[in-house]
């Protein structure tokens, strides 16, 4: 990440990467008190354009998380969008990237939340993030021994840095045991999601995914895939609880998220999913998703925010 990023956006201005610092005494550093978003921008080589995907929806979710955490977002939606695009342009990216707007608490006490008590800061990071090779082959997954955060304790609905300690525990455990991203169960023992992505399975031709009340992030990618499955592929999409054993007998399974994209699952706990290769429905949804995010389907261009102006895009394409 740091090798390719030349700038960051911090508290109202673009700064060189080396100068993008906050104090070690901030609540963000001491207790992970931040709320953030992970947003993809996809490069369309034919058009010489970089398209941010569903930026406005991500910022709406950022505000939702900040609201629950009683954090005052110090900038308007228009200012956040302008800052994000300015940063991406300053870095000169002509490739698929990931950018992260972050709201954080500065110096204060654990009980502070009022603007008169504690300053709320804002920064944005942007860095290249191409698709991983496993997007083609699928990943070997497992069911983690770590349970997903409960809404009664540390709501997974909030995309907060502190919630990702739970994710790290699950990721590292899976890696130590020779697996890729794991599946996490919630406190009720039902399938929740992966540490950084939602999960969907295919059974008898239906696309099935846990409901948003199953201790999962209200994923924008999940919502996108569900809409594409229904509108474009004519699939029946069902939101319901999923048992652990159902993972072992489904025909297809995949993770989905801004970072994961549409990531096929080849096996779970050494049980092959289908024939152990990405399934037909998964591949169709994956291809359609990539067409949408790169602006190749006109009817979904309302989800895209072009980073570069028409002239700059033309020059980049030449």
- How many beta carbons lie within 10 A of that of residue 243, not counting itself? 12
DSSP assignments along 193-256, one per residue: E-SSSEEEEEETTEEEE--TTTT----HHHHHHHHHHHHTT---EEE----HHHHHH-SEEEEE
List the structure tokens of 152.
């009664």
Across 160-184, b (16+ Cβ under 10 Å) vs e yields bbbbbebbeebbebbeeeebbbbbb
Residue 120 DSSP one-character state: E
Give the pairing of strands 49-53 and 13-16.
Answer: unpaired
* pLDDT at 1 (0 to 100): 45
Identify the sign of the CA torsion 15, 17, 18, 22. positive
Q: What is the mean pLDDT of residues 188-206?
A: 98
Closest residue by Cα to residue 104 from 166, 40, 155, 31: 31
* pLDDT at 315 (0 to 100): 53
| Cα distance between residue 269 and residue 173, in whole Å | 13
| Cα distance between residue 231 and residue 233, in whole Å | 6
Interval 237-261: pLDDT, tens: 999 999 999 999 999 999 999 999 9
DSSP assignments along 144-179, one per residue: -SSPPPPTTTS-TTS-BGGGHHHHHHHHHHHHHTT-
Interval 99-158: pLDDT, tens: 999 999 999 999 999 999 999 999 999 999 999 999 999 999 999 999 999 999 999 999
**pLDDT band at 310, cuts 50/70/90?**
low
Domain boundaries, the chain: 7-130, 134-278
Q: What is the pTM of this model?
A: 0.95
CA-to-CA dists, residue 79 to 9, 19, 31, 76, 120, angstroms: 12, 21, 27, 5, 16
Q: Does residue 263 register a pLDDT over 60?
A: yes
Closest residue by Cα to residue 207 from 284, 268, 136: 284
Closest residue by Cα to residue 198 from 168, 246, 242, 132: 242
Provide the CATH number for the domain formed by 134-278 in this structure.
Answer: 3.20.10.10
**pLDDT band at 309, cuts 50/70/90?**
confident
Q: Does residue 313 register a pLDDT over 60?
A: no
| Cα distance between residue 117 and residue 9, in whole Å | 24
For residue 23, report the phi and psi dihedrals to the nearest 5 degrees: -75, 150
CATH topology of domain 7-130: D-amino Acid Aminotransferase; Chain A, domain 1 (3.30.470)
């Amino acid at each position: 990440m740091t090798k390719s990023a030349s700038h960051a956006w911090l508290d109202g201005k673009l700064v060189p990467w080396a100068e993008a610092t906050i104090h070690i005494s901030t609540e963000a550093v001491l207790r992970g008190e931040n709320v953030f978003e992970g947003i993809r921008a996809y490069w369309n080589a034919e058009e010489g354009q970089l398209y941010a995907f569903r930026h406005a929806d991500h910022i709406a979710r950022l505000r939702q998380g900040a609201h629950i955490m009683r954090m005052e977002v110090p900038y308007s939606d228009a200012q956040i969008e302008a800052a994000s695009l300015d940063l991406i342009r300053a870095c000169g990216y002509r490739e698929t990237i990931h950018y992260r707007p972050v709201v954080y608490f500065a110096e204060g006490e654990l009980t502070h939340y009022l603007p008169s008590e504690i300053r709320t800061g804002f920064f944005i990071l942007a860095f290249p993030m191409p698709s991983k090779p496993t997007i083609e082959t699928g990943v070997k997954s497992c069911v983690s021994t770590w349970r997903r955060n409960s809404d009664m304790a540390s709501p997974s609905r909030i995309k907060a840095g502190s919630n990702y300690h739970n994710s790290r525990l699950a990721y590292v455990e899976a890696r130590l045991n020779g697996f890729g991203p794991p599946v996490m169960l919630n406190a009720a023992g039902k399938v929740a999601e992966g540490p950084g992505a939602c999960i969907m399975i295919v059974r008898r031709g239906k696309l099935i995914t846990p409901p948003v009340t199953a201790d999962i992030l209200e994923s924008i990618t999940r919502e996108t895939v569900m809409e594409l499955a229904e509108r474009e592929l004519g699939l029946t999409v069902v939101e319901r609880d999923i048992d652990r054993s159902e993972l072992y007998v489904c025909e297809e399974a995949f993770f989905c998220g801004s970072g994961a994209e549409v990531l096929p699952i080849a096996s779970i706990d050494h049980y092959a999913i289908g024939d152990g290769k990405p399934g037909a429905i998964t591949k169709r949804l994956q291809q359609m998703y990539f067409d949408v995010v790169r602006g190749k389907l006109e009817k979904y261009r309302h989800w895209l925010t072009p980073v570069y102006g028409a002239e700059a895009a033309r020059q980049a394409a030449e």
